[in-house]
Amino acid sequence: MLLAVLLPSCGLWSKSKYDNPDTIVVARDGTGEFRNIAEAIEVCRAFMDYHKVIFVKNGTYKEKLILPQWLQNVEICGESAEKTVITYDDHANILWPETGKPMGTFRTYTLKIEGSSVTLKNLTVENNAARLGQAVALFTEGDRLQFINCRFLGNQDTVYTGTAHSRLYFKDCYICGTTDFIFGPAAAWFEGCTIESLANSYITAASTPQDQPFGYVFNHCRLIAAEGVTKVYLGRPWRDYGYTLFMNCELGSHIRPEGWHHWEQHREQTARYMEYGNTGAGADTSKRVSWSRQLPQKDAQKITTEAVFSLSDSWMPSWK
């Protein structure tokens, strides 16, 4: 284990047969180079200047994974979104072995991405803990992250977009949960995604910093609900200045007429909550809270991936 920690700084990777752009295959049935995804991550060289694919065959991988900060240009690609499943079951009220105290939200992740320029494609990331507290499936810290045709399954706090000024792109993904199941400070664009509410609660809990011009943008997404779910808010601001926009989306009848919740009364003064061009039974804006905004067309046309992602450089998702 010590050797693995030291390798990125020792220059020993030049001798590794995996120091190349070839694909690594992971398979639970033993037909790949590794049986576990963690083993494949371990052999990737630090700060790679080439694109490295970890191809994961269908199977259930019970692993609690970290893609460390020194990994970049990595793509983890599943054989199929429904049958390639990364799963774990920690929740916030499990006792943390090191302290004997509850684990808390931010240690519960199934997959934590600390590195940048990482792509996930065609797989499921799941936290299948019982509904006993917050339970994160995906925890992101890196910048320039892409999630293509993935499924993120959980209950409370399914997806944590955890670093201000980082940029995330979700395309054709399915995300489900109960309370605040998409939350955090990152700038994240959701294109063509299906968002399913499993309980009467809140979909988003943005904590966008004041100096960050964009937070969550949902474009051409479909909002659905499990049977019996009829009273769901589009979001509530976890911190002052939370930013969330739904545009060109199909909103189901489970969306509450008022649309948004302030969480704390004073956040009505700073929350940046907007809608434009939505359709469906939940899209009627006549009873929306007065402090949300319906964008005029000229303003909506300015909300593009180029605008949202030009926070620090000209990066654009390669899957756009």
Q: How confident is the model at residue 311 (pLDDT cuts 50, 70, 90)?
A: confident
Taking phi first (over 0 means left), then psi (-120 to 50 degrees means alpha), and beta for anything else, what does residue 277 get?
left
Q: What is the DSSP string of 73-91?
A: SEEEEES-TTTEEEEE---
Taking phi first (over 0 means left), then psi (-120 to 50 degrees means alpha), and beta for anything else, what does residue 42 get?
alpha
**Residue in 157, 221, 211 with CA at minimum distance from that of residue 189:** 221
Amino acid in position 13: W
Residues 6+ apart with CB under 8 A from 162: 106, 139, 140, 141, 184, 185, 186
Write down the residue that tokens 């576990």 correspond to: 36
- Topology of the domain comprising 19-309: Pectate Lyase C-like (2.160.20)
Percentage of the chain exceeding pLDDT 90: 91
Q: Return d(Cα 121, Cα 209) in angstroms, integer.
A: 29
- Other C-beta atoms within 10 Å of 94: how many? 17
User: pLDDT tens digits for 236-248?
Assistant: 999 999 999 999 9
**Residue in 241, 248, 102, 250 with CA at minimum distance from that of residue 189:** 248
Q: What confidence score (pLDDT) does residue 313 get?
A: 87
User: pLDDT tens digits for 82-110?
Assistant: 999 999 999 999 998 888 899 999 999 99
Question: What are the tokens at 90?
Answer: 């920690």
Q: Return d(Cα 225, Cα 195) in angstroms, integer.
A: 8
Count, residues in the chain:
320
**Mean local confidence (pLDDT), 217-236:** 98
Say what the pTM is.
0.94
Taking phi first (over 0 means left), then psi (-120 to 50 degrees means alpha), and beta for anything else, what does residue 283 get?
alpha
Taking phi first (over 0 means left), then psi (-120 to 50 degrees means alpha), and beta for anything else, what does residue 27 get?
beta
Higher local confidence (pLDDT), 68 or 320: 68
| Contact assessment for residue 81 and residue 89, using Cβ atoms and an 8 Å cutoff | no
Q: Return d(Cα 30, Cα 37) in angstroms, integer.
A: 12
Q: Return d(Cα 251, Cα 29) in angstroms, integer.
A: 42
User: pLDDT tens digits for 14-64?
Assistant: 568 999 999 999 999 999 999 999 999 999 999 999 999 999 999 999 999
Q: Return d(Cα 314, Cα 320) in angstroms, integer.
A: 14
User: pLDDT tens digits for 120-161?
Assistant: 999 999 999 999 999 999 999 999 999 999 999 999 999 999
DSSP H or E segment with residue 273:
strand 272-276
Active site residues: 157, 180
Question: What are the tokens at 283?
Answer: 């899209």
